Amino acid sequence: MANIKELSKYPERLTGGHRLCSGCGASIAVRQVLLGTKDPIVVAAATGCLEVATTIYPYTAWAVPFIHNAFENVAATISGTETAYRALKKKGKIKKEIKFVAFGGDGGTYDIGLQSLSGALERGHKFVYVCYDNEAYMNTGVQRSSATPYGASTTTAPAGKESFGKPQHRKDLTAIAAAHNIPYVAQATISNWNDLITKSEKAFKADGPAFLNILAMCHRGWRYKEADTIKVAKLSVDTGFWPLIEIENGVLRFTYKPKERKPVVEFLKVQGRFKHLFKEENKHVLENIQKEVDLNFKRLENFAEAGCKI
């Protein structure tokens, strides 16, 4: 478990003064992830909210080496960097231990960066990939992604007379990453900071690729008060919408389970993107969401209880 007194002594690697929104889940997630190692670290980030708002020329909020690349290829960039490091270390030109981490939003990870990510995981590069999942293309105007939940209203899947919002269920990227048989995969969120930092520590220590899927709220896209980011994150866990799990060498376990899960409407009703679902004609959509959450939670419980590789 992470020790908060020790963590308070760590230098900030993402400094204040960046231009991410107040209450941005991504910046909270990044700061917690970077507390997972004391070693020198190289960061790469795909185009997106995080990159755009932290590296506005001629300024940077990063106190570590930082690489910006295109939307779709951050995993390829960091895997090439890690390979160069190993080559230089083998030649004796670098002696210190250096960690490598890539950050991408759900658009750059679930969607247009999936091929790059899959290739890097399959090749076995020793790096950590972090998806800060805010469930839409927030940087360019809240367009739906394959991480956008069923029923959510976005600018490209809007709710109205002809639609209740996005008609497809979100992609299970955590399971896709785990299917690559890599050492460490986990889901986390920013409200459970000790859980997230502990998972980050495990990811950086993994002997091979590690993948962290972090639900990172966006108050502008999700439409809630910016002061409520942690509250919304906690509801995602307490309702079972976002289970906190880890898959270590193929074996799944829960790292936290609410004693009694709250109804998923408790999570949905605080967000404007789901406001339309509380009309009588969309009652069936709420029922479908609850059913899907229950089925997914039970599926994960079955894997955890079996104790076998997934």
Query: Tens digit of pLDDT per residue, the chain (310 long)?
Result: 778 888 888 889 999 889 999 999 999 999 999 999 999 999 999 999 999 999 999 999 999 999 999 999 999 999 999 999 999 999 999 999 999 999 999 999 999 999 999 999 999 999 999 999 999 999 999 999 999 999 999 999 999 999 999 999 999 999 999 999 999 999 999 999 999 999 999 999 999 999 999 999 999 999 999 999 999 999 999 999 999 999 999 999 999 999 999 999 999 999 999 999 999 999 999 999 999 999 999 999 999 999 867 6
Q: Is 15 within 8 Å of 220 (Cβ atoms)?
A: no
- CA distances (Å), origin 137, targets 124, 157, 178, 265: 28, 12, 24, 24
pLDDT of 303 reads: 95
pLDDT of 110 reads: 98
Residues 6+ apart with CB under 8 A from 133: 105, 106, 109, 110, 147, 173, 213, 214, 215, 216
pTM of the predicted structure, to 2 decimals = 0.97
pLDDT of 2 reads: 75
Which stretches does DSSP call E strand in 136-280? 184-189, 210-215, 244-248, 251-256
Q: Does domain 4-306 have CATH number 3.40.309.10?
A: no
Residue 45 φ/ψ, nearest 5 degrees: -140, 135
* Local structure of 215: helix, strand or coil: strand
pLDDT of 154 reads: 98
74 membership: H or E segment, kind and range? helix 74-90
Q: 213 - beta bridge partners?
A: 131, 187
